[in-house]
Chains A and B, each alone.
Chain A
Amino acid sequence: MELQRTKWKAFYEGLIEWIIRICGISAVIFVFAIFIFVFWEGKGLLFSENFSVWELLTSEKWDPTHEPASFGAARIILGTFSVAILAMTIAVPFSLGGAIFISEFCGTQLKEILKVVIELLAAIPSVVWGFIGLTIMSILIRDLGSTTGLSILNGAIILALMSMPIILSISEDALNAVPDSYREAAIGLGVTRWQMVYRVLLPGAKKGLLAAVLLGMGRVVGETMAVLMATGHALNNPFDTTFPFFHALTEVKTLTATIASEMGEVERGGDHWQVLFLIGVLLFTITFIVNMTAHFVVHGVKRK
Chain B
Amino acid sequence: MNDSQRFTATPFTHAKESREKWVKYLMFVVTLLMAMPVILLVSYLIHKALPVLSLEFITDIPRNQMSAGGIWPAVLGTIYLVTLSLLVAAPVGVMAGVYLNEYATDNWFTRLINLAVINLAGVPSIVHALFGLGAFVLFAGLGESVIAASLTLAVMTMPVVITSTREALSAVPMSFREASWNMGVSRWQTIRGVVLPNSVSGILTGVILEVSRAAGETAPIMITGVTASLTFKQGESVYYLLGEKFMALSYHLYYFSTQWTPPRLVIDDESGNMVPMTQAAIEHAEAIPYGTAVVLLGVVLLFNSLSISFRYYLRTNRKW
Contact = CB atoms under 8 A, between A and B. Distances in A.
B104 interface: yes
Contacts of A19: 95
Interface in B56-108: 91-93, 95-96, 98-100, 103-104, 107-108
A13 B190 CA distance: 11
B95 A101 contact: no
Contact of A100 (B27, B126, B215): B27
B227 to A, nearest CB: 10
A177 interface: no
Given A24-B113, A195-B16, A127 B126 contact: no
A144 interface: no
B124 A106 contact: no
Contact of A28 (B16, B41, B116, B188): B116
Nearest to A121: B38
Given A97-B27, A98-B30, A194-B20, A130 B122 contact: no
Interface string B103-137: 11001100111011111101111111111011100
Interface stretch (B175-183, B236-244, B275-283, B299-307): B299-307
Contacts of A295: 115, 118
A1 interface: no
B320 interface: no
B113 A259 contact: no
B37 interface: yes
B98 A34 contact: no
B147 interface: no
A254 B164 CA distance: 32
Contact of B98 (A20, A28, A223): A20
A130 B251 CA distance: 12
Contacts of B223: 260, 263-264
B250 interface: yes
A123 B188 CA distance: 35
B218 A127 contact: yes
B162 interface: yes
Contacts of A302: 111
A34 B158 contact: no
B220 to A, nearest CB: 9
Contacts of B150: none
Interface stretch (A181-189, A200-208, A240-248, A283-291): A283-291
Interface in A188-214: 191-195, 197
B127 A127 contact: no
B124 A21 contact: no
Given A93-B30, A218-B122, A260-B126, A130 B117 contact: no
A236 to B, nearest CB: 19
Given A229-B254, A284-B123, A23 B92 contact: yes
A94 B28 CA distance: 10
Contact of A97 (B31, B215, B216): B31
A26 B158 contact: yes
Interface string B6-19: 00000000001101
Interface in A70-101: 93-95, 97-98, 100-101
Contacts of A276: 130
Given A30-B120, A102-B31, A192-B17, A292 B115 contact: yes
A124 B158 contact: no
Contact of A114 (B31, B158, B257): B31
A37 B131 CA distance: 6
A118 interface: yes
Contact of A23 (B27, B99, B123): B99
Q: Which 9 residue pairs of A and B lie closest in terms of their CB atoms, listed nearest first?
A: A24-B99, A222-B124, A125-B216, A23-B95, A101-B27, A97-B30, A37-B134, A224-B219, A192-B20
Given A125-B300, A260-B222, 14 more contacts: A23-B92, A27-B113, A27-B120, A34-B120, A93-B30, A98-B31, A105-B28, A120-B308, A124-B301, A125-B250, A125-B296, A135-B48, A223-B125, A224-B124
26 contacts: A13-B189, A20-B103, A23-B92, A28-B116, A33-B135, A34-B127, A38-B127, A41-B138, A94-B33, A98-B34, A100-B27, A101-B31, A102-B31, A119-B304, A124-B216, A128-B253, A128-B297, A131-B45, A134-B257, A136-B44, A192-B19, A229-B257, A263-B133, A280-B130, A291-B119, A304-B107
